[in-house]
């Protein structure tokens, strides 16, 4: 596979072709996904829930996400890999944001960096873009800001809200964002937004008009048995397969069917008599 570039996704948009993203949090899954047609991998702060078992996306650090992103890039060196700025890694100041976004690029070799973006982040995005970092500006439902609204809900379902979202997307584009990611928003709002943007629009529960789509890999593969959003489509039951394999292994261990002779190492033939003699001397 040829090494993918951000420009490839722009070319797809210009041709009217859609592209795909999946979250990915570890080397092993990245190795598997490196052999697929998926266009980009996102090491999201959703690792807080999917990897660490937290109830939200707030409890994961820059160090952790940097290490995870680095492992994903090792597993899929030819794929585009985006990193996700965790909670409070960019909110305190533009300087803090640039330092941390730079870590993802320099230490983890990320091709892009995602920032949950409201109006206060427009200048942060501008500064990062001016520094040469490809930014995915995440708008709509922003999990790191759910505390402000109390619970997650679809965005852009009212006319005024839709206009505000479109204005924000255009402002982020003007600031230099490479992509807009719109989460959990009315499909009509996404369609109007997509037609006004010159940069690619990535949807996460934002309807079919977006240039690209992203989902959590654990949801897609059927590896997570917790609640999932309505837009998460399951394509496999890997979780059930893993459980079945674990039970089959357990039964083989208990019954003595594992390991077999072919799965065992042997002392060298010429050493067997020597070993017997040495053991006799011990006794």
Same domain, 46 and 155: yes
| Domain range for 193 | 6-236
Count the neighbouring beta carbons within 10 Å of the beta carbon of residue 136: 28
pTM above 0.85, yes or no: yes
Same domain, 247 and 230: no
Same domain, 81 and 193: yes
* Annotated binding-site residue? 116: yes
Compute the distance between CA of residue 68 and CA of residue 60 in angstroms, rounded to an integer.
11
Same domain, 169 and 201: yes
Same domain, 185 and 202: yes
* Annotated binding-site residue? 45: yes
Both tokens of 203, joined, read 């949807």
Residue that terminates a domain, selected from 220, 236, 252 = 236
| Contact by Cβ (8 Å): 150, 166 | no
Q: Is residue 160 part of a domain?
A: yes
DSSP letter for each residue of 122-164: HHHHHHHHHTT--EEEEEES-GGGHHHHSS---BS-SHHHHHH
Same domain, 150 and 269: no
CATH code, 216 = 3.20.20.60
Same domain, 88 and 205: yes
Same domain, 98 and 176: yes
* Annotated binding-site residue? 89: no
* Annotated binding-site residue? 13: no
Phi then psi dihedrals of residue 280, to 5 deg: -65, -40
pLDDT tens, the chain, 283 aa long: 789 999 999 999 999 999 999 999 999 999 999 999 999 999 999 999 999 999 899 999 999 999 999 999 999 999 999 999 999 999 999 999 999 999 999 999 999 999 999 999 999 999 999 999 999 999 999 999 876 665 678 999 999 999 999 999 999 999 999 999 999 999 999 999 999 999 999 999 999 999 999 999 999 999 998 888 999 999 999 999 999 999 999 999 999 999 999 999 999 999 999 999 999 999 7
Residue tagged 């924000």 (tokens): 168
183 is catalytic: yes
Both tokens of 178, joined, read 């490479």
Q: Is residue 1 part of a domain?
A: no
Same domain, 247 and 142: no
* Annotated binding-site residue? 264: no
Catalytic residue among 173, 183, 251, 263: 183
Convert the pLDDT of each residue in 214-261 to its tens digit. Answer: 999 999 999 998 888 999 999 999 999 999 999 999 999 999 999 999
Q: How many domains, in total, are found in the chain?
A: 2
Strand-pairing partners, residue 21, are 40, 214
Q: Is residue 262 part of a domain?
A: yes
Compute the distance between CA of residue 130 and CA of residue 273 in angstroms, rounded to an integer.
74
Compute the distance between CA of residue 204 and CA of residue 180 in angstroms, rounded to an integer.
11
Q: Is residue 220 part of a domain?
A: yes
Same domain, 232 and 262: no
Spatial neighbors of 277 by CB under 8 A, at least 6 apart, are none
- Between strands 212-215 and 135-140, the pairing is unpaired
Compute the distance between CA of residue 22 and CA of residue 43 in angstroms, rounded to an integer.
9
Same domain, 189 and 261: no
Same domain, 155 and 33: yes
- Eight-state DSSP code of residue 251: H
Compute the distance between CA of residue 193 and CA of residue 209 in angstroms, rounded to an integer.
9
- The shares of helix, strand and coil residues in the chain, as percent rounded to the nearest 5, are 50, 15, 40
Residue 162 CA to its chain's centroid (Å)? 26
Is residue 40 packed enough to be buried (19+ CB in 10 Å), middle (13-18) or exposed (0-12)? buried
Q: Is residue 86 part of a domain?
A: yes
Compute the distance between CA of residue 32 and CA of residue 93 in angstroms, rounded to an integer.
37
């Amino acid at each position: 596979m040829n090494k993918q570039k951000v420009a490839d996704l722009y070319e797809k948009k210009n041709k009217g072709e859609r592209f795909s993203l999946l979250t990915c949090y570890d080397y092993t899954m990245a190795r598997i996904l490196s052999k697929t047609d998926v266009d980009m991998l996102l090491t999201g702060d959703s690792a807080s829930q999917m990897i660490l078992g937290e109830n939200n996306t707030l409890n994961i650090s820059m160090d952790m996400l940097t290490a995870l992103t680095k492992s994903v890039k090792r597993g899929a060196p030819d794929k585009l890999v985006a990193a996700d700025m965790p909670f409070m890694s960019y909110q305190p100041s533009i300087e803090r944001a640039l330092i941390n976004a730079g870590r993802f690029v320099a230490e983890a070799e990320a091709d892009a960096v995602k920032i949950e973006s409201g109006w206060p982040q427009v200048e942060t995005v501008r500064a990062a873009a001016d520094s040469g970092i490809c930014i995915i500006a995440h708008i709509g439902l922003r999990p790191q800001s759910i505390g402000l609204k109390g619970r997650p809900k679809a965005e852009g379902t009212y006319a005024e809200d839709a206009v505000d979202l479109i204005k924000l997307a255009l402002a982020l584009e003007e600031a230099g964002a490479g992509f807009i990611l719109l989460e959990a928003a009315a499909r009509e709002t996404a369609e109007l937004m997509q037609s006004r943007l010159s940069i690619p629009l990535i949807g996460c529960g934002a309807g079919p008009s977006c240039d690209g789509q992203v989902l959590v890999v654990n949801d897609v593969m059927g590896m997570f048995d917790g609640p999932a959003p309505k837009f998460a489509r399951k394509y496999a039951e890997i979780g059930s397969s893993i459980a079945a394999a674990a039970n089959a292994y357990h039964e083989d261990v208990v019954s003595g069917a594992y390991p077999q002779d072919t799965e065992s190492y042997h002392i060298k033939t010429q050493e067997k008599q020597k070993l017997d003699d040495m053991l006799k001397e011990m006794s």
